[in-house]
Structure 1
């Protein structure tokens, strides 16, 4: 390592974007992206919400934020900073560059008046010290479609499926996605331009598979679902062994959902279906005759950080009545530390400062983990991370914080 030097943090300017982004690419291995992918990220970057760390003329650190709206339990769409493009040059590790960027960024998010910051982590252990915690999980699947069959609901055969060029039906697919967003915590309302990421199809990203394909589900001439996927051909002595690589799929009702998944299971010359980060409670799993042959693997997905504890807890609803006083520790954002009284139910909530007796003691990380309803406060208590002071408060809060459907992040950022 060279001699330690101070770095200058500043808001990103357009003429610095290429150098800033090159630093990010290098930090993630240095493999260049396709030109169309790089150009799209350039257009999506929010310059006024992005910062760079500079050592003289060299960019040595990057961090950005997207202006997302995140669905929370109860269906509200809450402003959230989508923390992204975080990197530190290998020459400048262990000099506090990351910490200084995280400090500046969370101060900015607070100033913007947003109650939440969210991210996906390349290495989960990095972000805990800044108050982030895994709040959603996804299921990677690898289904043996020669052995697994789906028992579909009535009406499935009434759904018409047809192939369509992904770009030609992009607006209709986005309309389906938009209708799905309020129904599941963790989903993101996509801003204009983000839909293009879903049909970006550089050959370098296909890994031997076909160009992106799309099938839409229709009823009464209305598109009610879609699936975007690739097929990776394969052969062995016994015959074809192709793989269906699912990118994304959404449907507005059980029959359309079943029709699309049955189609994906039955594509000619294929014997397996793979997909990354699907919902843990996706309905097709309850249709499968042999879940053991579906190759389920769970991993963390969206990390949540409460920037304003009171505003964040007020923004969601609670599936059972809660009236709980939290003692919150938050070393990195000390304005959150102290006692908060949360009262709420399925109709709404309020949360404010209090001097009342403590019911539950925890850090802001536990609140972030439980915030979307996918991680139980009771489970965290079992791990020694939540302390029950008033008997019965843990059960009350754990039930109230739950979600009818599992929270899920539909795509990275």
Structure 2
């Protein structure tokens, strides 16, 4: 960024984060998100996970006034492939420097960098979704929240559940085996992240100031035939009402490699003594327990957007996934922020693979890069976007056929934030 005219104070300089600048850079982020200090263990973990060469800061003289980072992730896409994706994170602009184009400039720099790294996808979790829509991001996965009245809701479990043995374990002591369970699940569901070393520690952070009066983090592991097949991490908070005990179980994380293991873990959570409510947040929208409960209304379910997806390279991104039905369609894509994507693309593919190339053929569908991002992981229907006026059908029948092809039999899911 440069001065607009002679005599004006220079605008902040945007550049790569240096090794010794993390503390003021991160302090600017914390201030922008409410200035609540973090526990030392959590701060140290984010310091270790931050990739300096993929992070940028805006500096006004010696002061950091803007931040943005990009983690190196691999994201599961429909078909099971693990695709490099930039996990956009730690984005902030100091309140003293708002409305000066800093965010736009950092987003511009990031997307140019991601393209130069050869990564076709950028993903983020949005503090304010409206902000990132301007830069081509759209919600592609959703998380299920619920408050289940376990005093009145029963759980019906599948055959084999009783063969699963559960035992308590200290969360940190079984971290490696739990991470191995997680790794087995990553290829099975779009939206899941293949975690690099160090990320497993995020799931066992347990600062007292974040417990809200609940217990320390607890963990049970599931075993069958001597093999660990799943785990659940949770907290309990005891309470008493006019009728007696009224405690709450809050689920932090749950994973199982098969339906019986998952059911055994959910049954355990439903039946913890002295509790009558189970709080779950950000679970897969198609998780099986919803079809095992006796009364879905008493689960108080609601949805919230989760992973926002941005195609940085339309052709490469659409080629990286497969399609659940044969597709041959010409997409007229509009992408004003990344103009290299604007134009017509012929997508052909099926369950075995895909090709996507620029073309001059007549378009079958017209849409922006945001609609492609929303539909990319298979959790948002192109047909629904068409009904909303976001996708225009230019050839009769093209929208329905393409929407079916883009779908996924398993709902995409982001297992944790970043």
What range is the shorter-chain TM-score in?
A: over 0.9
Equivalence for 1:309: 314
Q: Secondary structure of 2:151's match?
A: coil
The residue aligned with 2:181 is: 176
Q: Is contact 1:10-1:51 (8 Å) kept?
A: yes
Corresponding residue for 2:406? 401
Partner of 1:156: 161
When normalised by structure 2's length, the TM-score is: 0.98
Partner of residue 134, structure 1: 139
Structure 1 residue 5: Cα displacement = 4.9
Structure 1 distance, partners of 2:179, 2:357, is 38
Correspondence list, 1:234-253, <5 A: 234-253=239-258
Q: Which residue of 2 aligns with 1:110?
A: 115
> Which of 348, 365, 379 pairs up with 2:370?
365
Alignment root-mean-square deviation, CA = 0.8
Question: How much has 1:113 moved relative to structure 2?
Answer: 0.1
Q: Does 1:299 align with 2:304?
A: yes
Q: Helix, strand or coil for the counterpart of 1:130? A: coil
- Are 2:360 and 1:355 equivalent residues in the alignment? yes
Runs of 4+ in 1 over 3 A off after TM superposition: none
3-state SS of 1:271 partner = strand
Residue aligned with 2:193, SS:
coil
Q: 1:374 to 1:4 in 2, by over 3 A?
A: farther
Give me the whole-angstrom Cα distance separating, in 1, the residues matched to 2:258 and 2:280: 21
Paired with 1:347 and 1:328, the residues of 2 have a C-alpha distance of 24
Which residue in the other structure is 2:4 paired with? none
SS of alignment partner, residue 194 of structure 2 = coil
Q: Return the offset for 1:236.
A: 1.6
SS in 1 for 2:415: coil
| 2:55 is equivalent to residue 50 of structure 1 | yes
Whole-angstrom distance in 2 between the partners of 1:114 and 1:153: 42
Alpha-carbon distance, 1:14 to partner: 1.9
1:6-405 alignment, distance < 5 Å = 6-405=11-410
Greater Cα offset, 68-77 or 233-242? 233-242
Distance of 2:275 and 2:69 partners within structure 1: 40
- Distance in 1 separating the partners of 2:21 and 2:294: 54
CA contact (8 A) 1:4 1:95 kept: no
Which residue does the alignment assign to 2:5?
Answer: none
Give yes or no for contact 1:150–1:288 (8 Å, CA) kept in 2.
yes
- In structure 2, runs of 5+ residues without a counterpart are 1-7
CA shift, 1:237, in A, is 2.5
Aligned residues: 411
Structure 1: any 5+ residue segments left out of the alignment? none
